[in-house]
Structure 1
């Protein structure tokens, strides 16, 4: 190949790169514009709900986006509903206890099960994993009746235990963490065994620190599931003092929904704020955890 040909080739390559840069910039701007539209569409209802929670009008029908009068009375009725609804902060406390305890216990139980399936091979481990995956296909509504009968026989209905225990064993969490642990380099655990580490020490000091993104992902998913659960607390609780926040929102909707939507909106903001903040704070862990397990498309 001649020197002229080499020179022409090296000159053409930067030109092609420069020619593709405007196209890449236009594509990036278009993607940003589309994402902005979707973000605004998602944010406006939340903003309208927040503004409406300070609306002094008794009915929002026909009212504009910005209310003519602002008041904090809607929020005070959450604490003193005058017998028309459940005290929302009692329900908020119940939801917090259930979600936090369920999340912590699920992280311990699911990580141990995943470690056993991934790093402690035993006869029938593949069958156990297959059964877990197949059980994920069973809708939760199918097991509500036997679950209710089981907790009734144990005397756990209308207790925190009845609300927490169903969220402790997450089949999806077991599969998620098992895949995460299986992708870890074998040399790490083998080196620990050579140094005299047993299975518990290997799990505690080697595996757990390396699967923190997966644990964060599972923790967020379990927290959101326990916080937003409505059907099982509706069945398992029988007194207002044990109701969770989704159940309390129904009482506010029934008590104030016909005339005072501001109270309903205030209770809605209180309900969605904690999981929204948790998700926004830790969404990068969800992306990192799912991508590192090979579950992405």
Structure 2
């Protein structure tokens, strides 16, 4: 019996190791390729040991493409939309969960309906609206449409449902006003949910490609995903070493964000699954 358990454990470890290897290898290859010369990247057999050409590729990339500007644009857009999405989603979620008002259910149902609409369907109406406001190729076009998301409202509403009503009533008896209850009592307890929503929102905006492709035309307004796509356009010589360097730089913020907030992410996602 013990031998069978040990054998089952060994199989689990083997499959886990295979899964980790398959998952990690593309990232390892991306980093390795960013340190190689152009002639070494597609060499057969492939070079799997990092070299010393990373900073040369980085220098060539920065001299030919607006790398740092694109990185700044991505950080700015992702940071602002993440903060606003957390704030407005928490407010809306609190209202839907704890207040009874006329039209609450139809309004929340409309939020769910908007979640089901594909992004591609909204591109043309959003572009027309931005064009009428003369916001095309500006930060407003990249930020305004994503100030709050239906998913954020839905997630925060589900989390707010688990918040005890007794605490809210006790705070009202003590003379605390509605906004005071929200900011001083509810929001601090919802930190894990806010962190989970923040990670999801930041990752979505950091990798957002379709809308910047529609709303941006000048290189100065490129986000990092848009710049990466422009580096591999048909009909031009692709410098894959530089592409890999840009991909590595674009991956670092997401890795750091998830590593620092992974505990909040897990507890925030499952925190509203049990009401009590």
Using structure 1 for the length normalisation, give the TM-score: 0.85
CA distance in structure 1 between the aligned counterparts of 2:38 and 2:235, rounded to whole angstroms: 12
The offset of 1:28, in angstroms, is 5.2
Map residues 40-189 of structure 1 onto 2, 5 A cutoff. Answer: 40-58=21-39, 60-63=41-44, 64-66=46-48, 70-71=52-53, 72-81=55-64, 86-189=65-168
Dislocated runs of 4+, deviation >6 Å: 21-25
Deviations 1:237-273 (A, max 9, x none): 1111011001111222239985632111111111112
Could you say which residue in structure 1 is the equivalent of 2:17?
A: 36
CA distance in structure 1 between the aligned counterparts of 2:172 and 2:6, rounded to whole angstroms: 52
CA distance in structure 1 between the aligned counterparts of 2:202 and 2:134, rounded to whole angstroms: 25
Deviations 1:172-218 (A, max 9, x none): 11011111011111111111011011110110111101111110011
Question: Secondary structure of 1:224's match?
Answer: helix
Distance verdict in 2 for CA 1:170–1:259, change over 3 Å: closer
Deviations 1:71-94 (A, max 9, x none): 23211112111xxxx311110010
The offset of 1:59, in angstroms, is 5.6
Name which of 182, 186, 191 aligns with 1:212.
191
> Unmatched 5+ residue regions in structure 2?
none
The offset of 1:151, in angstroms, is 1.1
Name which of 182, 191, 199 aligns with 2:170.
191
Q: Is the 8 A contact 1:58 1:262 kept in 2?
A: no
The offset of 1:62, in angstroms, is 2.7
Using structure 2 for the length normalisation, give the TM-score: 0.91
The offset of 1:38, in angstroms, is 1.3
Deviations 1:150-171 (A, max 9, x none): 1111121111111112222111
Distance verdict in 2 for CA 1:234–1:196, change over 3 Å: same
| Residue correspondences, number | 272
CA distance in structure 1 between the aligned counterparts of 2:135 and 2:28, rounded to whole angstroms: 40
CA distance in structure 2 between the aligned counterparts of 1:68 and 1:104, rounded to whole angstroms: 37
Deviations 1:122-171 (A, max 9, x none): 01111111111122111011111111111111121111111112222111
Name which of 244, 247, 272 aligns with 1:268.
247
